Structure 1
Amino acid sequence: METEKIPDIVIGRLPRYLQALQRLQQEKKLTTNSKELGERLGISAAQIRKDLSQFGEFGKQGTGYSVPFLINKLQSILNVTSVWDIVLVGMGDLGHALARYQGFANHGFRVAMVFDNDPQIIGRQVGSFTIQDTTDLVEKVSQAGIRVAMLTVPASAAQEVAEKLVKAGVKAILSYAPITLNLPVDVHVDYIDPILKLQHMTYYLD
């Protein structure tokens, strides 16, 4: 399987399938099918079958999918069978909330370090974390071997901080900063900007 040939839009749907399957598992359901998944996700059954078929044959005609089996397969495809450490940079309100969020651990992620450049908060505790100085970011993140980061800094600081993360060896960045980052092609960046999402939705409102 050469994942680089699979469209990114397909990869983007896999976590949604995994989430739906985990909810089915919580409901004690052992089997499902593309129709049921489609109804839960608002995606056609044909699209789900097509997406999954790019990674192999996971179901049987007439019996559907084994929920535990498909969960394991999707976790393996998405590389979340073990726990990924995350570095979180930017300890404003959003950073504080993410540092305290308990939901990462059950889905293959763990916040391991938090950083900021504000002298007034460096050294303070946020939950179980001590806020560290971004001056030390490259050295400490590199030593820890962390490859995943979340960026919750202002737009004016995002590019500089992202470059430090890349220098430290980070290869995947989830950025909440409202700016597009210019980084090497081998660094995967995803963006979450609530304003853009809201403006997208209000198009459909009268």
Structure 2
Amino acid sequence: MIPRTPRPRERGIPEATVARLPVYLRALQALNERGTPTVSSEDLASVAGVNSAKLRKDLSHLGSYGTRGVGYDVDYLIYQISRELGLTQDWSVAIVGIGNLGRALANYGGFGTRGFRIAALLDADASVVGDKVAGLSVGHIDSLEAVVGDEAVSIGVIATPAAAAQGVCDRFVEAGVTSVLNFAPVVLNVPPGVDVRKVDLSIELQILAFHEQRKSDGHAGPELAGRAEDPA
């Protein structure tokens, strides 16, 4: 039996660190594409948009401390972070709600290179069912439970209108899905053991509007140096 890699929280890695790991991974992949073999903590922190002390502390949770005078091995650090995030295996994803947003998500080419396989597209609209999107035929929402079982779906993505989101989430959970990415503008209620990540573009725009207003009022300050990708 292959030993299971402990999840970040099981290893005592803080949630804020977990949230920054994908940012570091993206920066490292960009460096790797440019043929950079090693990177200092200062340079990696600059690319990732955090301070170097925070980056070194984050990476120490992975057991990676770099080499004095050399820095971090880019390839190995990519592997370490990918392993910690569970990206060294493929995760099957089902998207429910194949409107403009759902179609855009399905057509995003980056999932396949990052360990995610779009296994199913589902919608309640009969006029959408049967459409070909990103090489997949859109199925009816009635098949959700069967699809979760047949495709071993690990992550459910909800891109429906707000009114339908909780019902879809409930069905995902009842079918055994314990990780949900929610794009609907509503807070989902889930039982313990189910992880929900919410992506609300309107909230992000409102936060940017706040900062724009402060800058126009002449109140820009050090707090603007913080980034949404860099939780404390």
Considering the TM-score relative to the shorter chain, is it more than 0.5? Answer: yes
Aligned partners of 1:154, 1:2: CA distance in 2, in Å? 32
Deviation at 1:149, TM superposition (A): 1.5
Asked if 1:150 corresponds to 2:157, the answer is yes
Q: Which has the higher contact order (CA 8 A, sep 6+)?
A: 2
Deviation at 1:103, TM superposition (A): 1.3
Asked if 1:47 corresponds to 2:34, the answer is no
Aligned partners of 1:126, 1:2: CA distance in 2, in Å? 33
Of 37-46 and 119-128, the range deviating more from structure 2 = 119-128
Aligned partners of 1:98, 1:6: CA distance in 2, in Å? 29
Q: Which amino acid aligns with 1:200?
A: I
TM-score, structure 2 normalization: 0.85
Deviation at 1:35, TM superposition (A): 0.1
Aligned partners of 1:185, 1:90: CA distance in 2, in Å? 25
Helix, strand or coil: the match of 1:119?
Answer: coil
Deviation at 1:136, TM superposition (A): 1.4
Does the aligned pair in 1 maintain the 2:7–2:84 contact within 8 Å?
no
Specify the alignment match of 1:29 in structure 2: 36
Deviation at 1:144, TM superposition (A): 2.0
- Of 27, 38, 42, 2:45 maps to 38
Aligned partners of 1:2, 1:173: CA distance in 2, in Å? 17
Aligned pairs for 1:121-132 within 5 A: 121-132=128-139
Specify the alignment match of 1:190 in structure 2: 197
Asked if 1:161 corresponds to 2:168, the answer is yes
Specify the alignment match of 1:203 in structure 2: 210
Q: Which amino acid aligns with 1:87?
A: A
When residues 92 and 11 of structure 1 are mapped into structure 2, their CA distance, relative to the original with a 3 A threshold, is same
Does the aligned pair in 1 maintain the 2:92–2:119 contact within 8 Å?
yes
Deviation at 1:2, TM superposition (A): 7.0
Q: Which amino acid aligns with 1:162?
A: C
Does the aligned pair in 1 maintain the 2:37–2:73 contact within 8 Å?
yes
Does the aligned pair in 2 maintain the 1:151–1:175 contact within 8 Å?
yes
Deviation at 1:203, TM superposition (A): 0.8
Aligned partners of 1:165, 1:2: CA distance in 2, in Å? 22
- Of 167, 170, 178, 2:177 maps to 170
Deviation at 1:124, TM superposition (A): 2.0
Residues 115-151 of structure 1, C-alpha deviations (whole Å, 9 max, x = no match): 0001111122223111111111012212321111211
- Of 3, 9, 13, 2:8 maps to 3
Unaligned runs of 5+ in 2: 1-5, 217-232
Specify the alignment match of 1:110 in structure 2: 117
Does the aligned pair in 2 maintain the 1:58–1:70 contact within 8 Å?
no
Helix, strand or coil: the match of 1:6?
Answer: coil
Aligned partners of 1:42, 1:98: CA distance in 2, in Å? 26
Specify the alignment match of 2:224 in structure 1: none
| Aligned positions, number | 206
Helix, strand or coil: the match of 2:193?
Answer: coil
TM-score, structure 1 normalization: 0.96
- Of 178, 188, 194, 1:181 maps to 188
